[in-house]
Amino acid sequence: MWYQILELSRLAVGQHNAPEYDDVPKLMDDFLHKFNHHLKTNMDGPELAARAHFELVHIHPYLDGNGRVARLVANWVLIQRVLPMFIPAEEARDEYNANIALAVRGRNEGHATGLDLELNRNGDTDWLKPFINMFYVFLQIATENGAEKAADNE
């Protein structure tokens, strides 16, 4: 069972204190329930990918590799929606980390989770918008780069 590989101590990650380890199973169950629900909707792929990515990083269920797992889930969403993969370029790593930190600060202030859309419609996730917008920018760059490579190969 995946619960056996959850972290067994509370971690501080940058500005974020990860949840207590005994809270993680419920947080993951809630995440999976909401995530599976939103997969069945027509939510825009980059938005769902960004929200899922952020929530996994915020829950921080593993001792190591949380960012990699979050990017894997985000890319799985994008592939399901026939979109290019989200791969932050090395030169954009600072922007990526800054947007995560901004979202963490908003989330730590007690706002709704990234997947609580009924609250999001009331403007409770303005703190997450820069992170979501970053996904759109990176996907636009990936699309343009792919088009350039395709044109070069013609």
DSSP-assigned letters across all residues of 70-98: HHHHHHHHHHHTT-------GGGHHHHHH
104 is in an annotated binding site: no
| Predicted pLDDT at 74 | 94
| Predicted pLDDT at 114 | 54
Token pair listed for 141: 């760059």
Domain limits, the chain: 2-152
CB 45 within 8 A of CB 77: yes
| Predicted pLDDT at 72 | 94
70 is in an annotated binding site: yes
Domain 2-152, CATH among 1.10.3290.10, 3.40.50.720, 2.60.40.10, 3.90.1150.10: 1.10.3290.10
Is the pLDDT at 113 greater than 70? The verdict is no
Per the confidence metrics, is the pTM higher than 0.75?
A: no
16 is in an annotated binding site: yes
pLDDT mean across residues, the chain: 76
Bigger pLDDT: 127 vs 153: 153
Bigger pLDDT: 126 vs 80: 80
d(CA 72, CA 87): 10
64 is in an annotated binding site: yes
Bigger pLDDT: 5 vs 149: 149
| Predicted pLDDT at 125 | 55
Is the pLDDT at 13 greater than 60? The verdict is no
Catalytic site includes residue 60: yes
Contacts of 109 (CB under 8 A, 6+ apart): 127
- The CA R_g of the chain, rounded to the nearest whole Å, is 16
From 53, 58, 60, 111, the catalytic residue: 60
Average of pLDDT values for 53-70?
88
